[in-house]
């Protein structure tokens, strides 16, 4: 590891001075000026820094424009939900159209996303910058159909390996696997070879031909023009954020194309490997031919015909076809489709949802139409309707034919209606029979519409709130030699967690789902694991799950919490080796390179609460986690400055390298402020056996010395951030 030069830093906080005067040992850090940091023993960390990788934000969302109307659904994502962003919080507004909640986010984030869905399926997504611990946002007016166009910004022309700053013509090949930017005011005209790299256009790109695999990004304010565009490589991507995108001839797509801006095309052929995704505005003067995947969450207008030959078309906003729409494969509509002439449904199925609407002049049906959900969707035909023998209607469909069904040889399900029902107006959908009024279905009468409710038949539950998210895990990493110093490889117990705080309509927690994944044991001790919650044991109705008790040291109450505890404690297992058996060689399990790998073990638990509890009271998941060492129940190891349970052996505090002073809140840390456990809000690639974390991760020391204010992404998989030879 390269030595790090650490500059002078001074701690002036009066609160810290008061805190240290009550400690049993002198913790004052008046001035620390180490010349070089070579190992963990050289670190001097602030005693009140808990090695947290998270930040807490109080969020308030106001749906001002829906005052007096039914509640709106609010979802929070850690990134752009249309580019892999993960859902981390869900709830609804109250009678004042206000939603307030506590968010726990990775400390390295600079922004997050909120999405509002109204009772009439009006969907808006906005980006919020993280500038304080209290963030408020007001939805004041309905947006246009192109919500994402004004919300999402391109990456800009920064961090470029090469920049084009002038007018360049001819042939240009990107340096292999590199990022090249055309700066504002600059341009390239000619033949482009991507060569595995990425081209970001903030100026102008006038393309005569394109070859090679790679990515092209037209940034906001950038300009793109070509006669034709052929993307033949399935691993290539073309992403547009601009309103100046002009293509005068055919667009042939075998890779990925995403649009967040405004595009004018002649015609579009989506080939067998092509993926076309629109979140902005696309206007075609000619035909659209699809043979793989077409997704629309913006405004897509086709001047001529649409031939859907294979794959899937999903419409989540507004699709207008001025000619004929021919469907020969899966078609999904959750919003609005308007066909000016003929809709020929030859082969499907055709799925309808979310009070969607299809309007067409003539309609011929030869396959299955399926409506999903409890609210009616509608097909409105102003001209001729022909339902042939293969035509099957099922689910809640209102089939409205102004002049009556001319031919009906098909099958109509029992829920089919012919009543010209009301379909609400949204920013995508103009609605139908608007005099029909507002209909809200709430089966369990909890105040949450069924379309928003994850538990529509259980009035006590409404929303899932996964931490860190439904798609990811956090990681707990422990050293087990407390109160003595170990090797700081933080792999004596590696345990991933995923926690679901199930809330009711009032954003109170009623149930906690806990999934644990035992990944590694870098120790010889038989260690157990549990959590302490900041509530009394009686606040828990019952705990169930995959408990593993084999050592005879755990005593339980009737609700499966641990006995003789002042706060609720749940012990999940008392010997990790029973879940992750030793392979017979090396020290521990899954910490020594080359040793036999043992598949991680996942265990699941459910904590049902006796009454709803506010998330702020429960605190940040995974609450107060701890291990207990080598079959000694009282020898607990918690995260830094977390309280021990009532069963912890107090004689160990202040011995060895530990300087705990429980009455002052200083616990589980060394004289230099180092911990025996850390909590990672994202999956953690832990060090191999005997490799200290400071050697495995380049910026761990900088992060720790700054008390978590700098290098907050130190654990990410980024070039230069880690020594891969020291990570398992």
For the chain, the farthest-separated pair of C-alpha atoms sits apart, in whole angstroms, at 91
pLDDT value at 69 more than 90: no
Tokens standing for 282?
């696309």
- Phi and psi at 123, nearest 5°, equal -115, 130
Whole-number Å distance between alpha carbons of 413 and 393: 6
Tokens standing for 636?
């607990």
Whole-number Å distance between alpha carbons of 611 and 541: 8
Sign of CA dihedral 546, 552, 554, 559: positive
Per DSSP, the three-state class of 435 is helix
DSSP string spanning 34-90?
A: -S-B-SGGG----TT-----EEEEEEEEEEGGGTTS---EEEEESS-GGGTPPEEEE
Burial (Cβ within 10 Å: 0-12, 13-18, ≥19) of residue 681? buried
What's the rounded mean pLDDT across residues 36-53? Answer: 88
The string of pLDDT tens digits covering residues 508-527 is 999 999 999 999 999 999 99
Residue 7 pLDDT: 30
Under a CB-based contact definition with an 8 Å cutoff, are residues 543 and 610 in contact? no
pLDDT value at 25 more than 60: no
The string of pLDDT tens digits covering residues 640-669 is 999 999 999 999 999 999 999 988 889 999
What's the rounded mean pLDDT across residues 334-342? Answer: 95
Under a CB-based contact definition with an 8 Å cutoff, are residues 427 and 122 in contact? yes
Which is more confident, 407 or 12?
407
Which is more confident, 31 or 455?
455
Please tell me whether the peptide bond between 264 and the residue prior to it is cis, using omega within 30 degrees of 0. Answer: no
Whole-number Å distance between alpha carbons of 5 and 673: 20
Scan for tokens 């075998």, then name that residue: 254
Residue 394 pLDDT: 96
β-pairing, 466-467 vs 493-503, is antiparallel
What's the rounded mean pLDDT across residues 442-457? Answer: 88
Q: What ranges make up the beta strands (E) of 194-278?
A: 198-201, 204-211, 215-218, 223-226, 229-231, 237-240, 244-247, 250-253, 256-259, 262-265, 267-270, 275-278
The string of pLDDT tens digits covering residues 249-282 is 889 999 999 999 888 899 999 999 999 999 988 9
CB neighbours of residue 167 within 10 Å: 12
pLDDT value at 26 more than 50: no
Residue 425 pLDDT: 72
List the alpha helices (DSSP H) in 68-201: 147-151
Under a CB-based contact definition with an 8 Å cutoff, are residues 56 and 102 in contact? yes
Tokens standing for 154?
């391109």
Residue 36 pLDDT: 65
pLDDT value at 407 more than 90: no
State pTM to two decimals: 0.63
- With pLDDT > 70 as the criterion, what percentage of the chain qualifies? 92
Residue 541 pLDDT: 95
Exposure string over 134-166, b if 16+ CB within 10 A, otherwise e: ebeeebeeebebbbbbebbebbbbeebeebbee
pLDDT value at 302 more than 50: yes
Delimit the domains of the chain by residue range.
14-51+462-726, 54-136, 175-285, 312-429
Give residue 328's pLDDT band: very low, low, confident or very high (50, 70, 90).
very high
Q: Hey, which residues does 51 pair with through a beta bridge? A: none
Residue 27 pLDDT: 28
The string of pLDDT tens digits covering residues 554-584 is 999 999 999 999 999 999 999 999 999 999 8
Give residue 148's pLDDT band: very low, low, confident or very high (50, 70, 90).
very low
Whole-number Å distance between alpha carbons of 724 and 710: 22
Centroid of chain to Cα 108: 15
Residue 387 pLDDT: 95
CA angle 239, 244, 250 (to 5 degrees): 70
What's the rounded mean pLDDT across residues 394-407? Answer: 90
Q: What is the CATH number of domain 54-136?
A: 2.60.40.1120
What's the rounded mean pLDDT across residues 333-358? Answer: 94
Contacts of 460 (CB under 8 A, 6+ apart): 446, 504, 510
Scan for tokens 């090396």, then name that residue: 586
Which is more confident, 251 or 20?
251
pLDDT value at 152 more than 80: no
Residue 434 pLDDT: 58
Please tell me whether the peptide bond between 430 and the residue prior to it is cis, using omega within 30 degrees of 0. Answer: no
DSSP helix, strand, coil percent of the chain (3-state; round to 5): 5, 40, 50
What's the rounded mean pLDDT across residues 233-261? Answer: 89
The string of pLDDT tens digits covering residues 483-495 is 999 999 999 999 9
Burial (Cβ within 10 Å: 0-12, 13-18, ≥19) of residue 433? middle
pLDDT value at 13 more than 80: no
pLDDT value at 147 more than 90: no
User: Residue 499: which H helix or E strand, with range?
Assistant: strand 493-503
pLDDT value at 9 more than 60: no
CB neighbours of residue 347 within 10 Å: 18
Under a CB-based contact definition with an 8 Å cutoff, are residues 370 and 377 in contact? no
What's the rounded mean pLDDT across residues 193-216? Answer: 93
Whole-number Å distance between alpha carbons of 511 and 21: 41
β-pairing, 187-193 vs 167-173, is parallel
Residue 8 pLDDT: 29
CA angle 149, 151, 80 (to 5 degrees): 105
Centroid of chain to Cα 230: 33
Tokens standing for 495?
């345990």
- Counting every residue, how long is the chain? 728
Averaged pLDDT score across all residues of the chain: 88
pLDDT value at 163 more than 90: yes
Residue 215 pLDDT: 95
Under a CB-based contact definition with an 8 Å cutoff, are residues 224 and 242 in contact? yes
């Amino acid at each position: 590891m390269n030595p790090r030069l650490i500059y002078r830093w001074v701690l002036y906080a009066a609160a810290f001075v008061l805190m240290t005067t009550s400690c049993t040992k002198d913790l004052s850090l008046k001035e620390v000026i180490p010349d070089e940091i070579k190992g963990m023993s050289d670190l001097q960390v602030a005693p009140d820094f808990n090695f947290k990788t998270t930040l807490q934000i109080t969020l308030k969302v106001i749906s001002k424009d829906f005052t007096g109307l039914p509640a709106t659904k609010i979802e929070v994502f850690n990134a752009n939900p249309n580019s892999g962003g993960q859902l981390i919080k869900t709830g609804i507004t109250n009678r004042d159209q206000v939603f307030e909640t506590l968010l726990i986010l990775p400390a390295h984030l600079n922004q997050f996303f909120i999405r509002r869905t109204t009772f009439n399926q009006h969907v808006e997504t906005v980006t919020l910058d993280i500038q304080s611990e209290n963030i408020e946002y007001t939805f004041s007016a309905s947006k246009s159909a192109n919500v994402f166009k004004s919300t999402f910004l391109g990456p800009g022309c920064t961090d470029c390996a090469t920049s084009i700053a002038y007018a360049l013509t001819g042939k240009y090949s990107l340096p292999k696997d590199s990022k090249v930017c055309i700066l504002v005011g600059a341009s390239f005209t000619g033949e482009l070879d991507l060569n595995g790299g990425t081209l970001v256009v903030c100026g102008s790109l006038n393309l005569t031909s394109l070859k090679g695999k790679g990515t092209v990004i037209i940034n906001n304010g950038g300009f793109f023009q070509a006669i034709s565009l052929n993307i033949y490589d399935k691993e290539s991507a073309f992403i547009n954020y601009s309103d100046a995108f002009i293509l005068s001839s055919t667009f042939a797509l075998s890779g990925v194309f995403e649009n967040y801006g405004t595009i004018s095309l002649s015609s579009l052929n989506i080939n067998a490997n092509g993926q076309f995704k629109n979140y902005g505005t696309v206007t075609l003067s000619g035909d659209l031919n699809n043979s793989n995947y077409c997704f629309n969450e913006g405004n897509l207008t086709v001047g001529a015909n649409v031939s859907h030959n294979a794959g899937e078309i999903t419409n989540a906003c507004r699709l207008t076809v001025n000619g004929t729409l021919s469907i020969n494969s899966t078609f999904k509509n959750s919003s609005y489709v308007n066909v000016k002439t003929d809709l020929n449904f030859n082969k499907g199925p055709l799925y309808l949802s979310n009070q969607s609407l299809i309007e067409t002049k003539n309609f011929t049906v030869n396959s299955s139409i399926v409506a999903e959900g409890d609210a009616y969707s509608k097909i409105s035909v102003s001209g001729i309707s022909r339902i042939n023998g293969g035509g099957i209607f099922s689910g809640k469909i209102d089939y409205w034919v102004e002049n009556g069904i001319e031919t009906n040889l098909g099958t109509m399900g029992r829920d089919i209606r012919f009543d010209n029902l009301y379909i609400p107006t949204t920013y995508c959908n103009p609605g139908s029979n608007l005099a029909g009024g507002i209909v809200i279905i709430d089966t369990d009468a909890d105040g949450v519409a069924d379309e928003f409710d994850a538990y529509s038949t259980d009035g006590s539950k409404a929303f899932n709130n996964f931490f860190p998210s439904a798609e990811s895990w956090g990681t707990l990493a422990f050293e087990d030699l407390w109160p003595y110093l170990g090797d700081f490889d933080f792999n004596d117990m590696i345990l991933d967690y995923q926690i679901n705080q199930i809330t009711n309509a009032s954003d109170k927690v009623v149930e906690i789902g806990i999934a644990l994944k035992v990944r590694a044991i870098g120790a010889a001790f038989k260690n157990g694991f549990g959590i302490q919650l900041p509530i009394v044991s009686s606040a828990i109705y019952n705990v169930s799950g995959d408990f593993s008790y084999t050592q005879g040291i755990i005593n339980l109450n009737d609700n499966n919490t641990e006995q003789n505890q002042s706060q609720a404690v749940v012990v999940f297992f008392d010997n990790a080796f029973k879940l992750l058996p030793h392979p017979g060689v090396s020290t521990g399990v899954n910490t020594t390179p080359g040793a036999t790998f043992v598949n991680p073990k996942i265990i699941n638990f459910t904590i049902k609460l006796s009454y709803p509890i506010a998330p702020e009271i429960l605190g940040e998941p995974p609450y107060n986690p701890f291990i207990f060492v080598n079959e000694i129940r009282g020898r607990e190891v918690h995260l830094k400055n977390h309280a021990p349970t009532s069963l912890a052996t107090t004689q160990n505090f202040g011995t060895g390298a530990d300087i705990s002073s429980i009455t002052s809140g200083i616990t589980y840390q060394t004289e230099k402020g180092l911990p025996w456990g850390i909590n990672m809000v994202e999956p953690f690639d832990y060090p191999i056996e005997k490799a200290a974390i400071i050697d495995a991760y380049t910026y761990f020391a900088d992060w720790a010395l700054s008390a978590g204010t700098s290098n907050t992404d130190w654990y990410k998989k980024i070039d230069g951030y880690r020594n891969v030879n020291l990570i398992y």
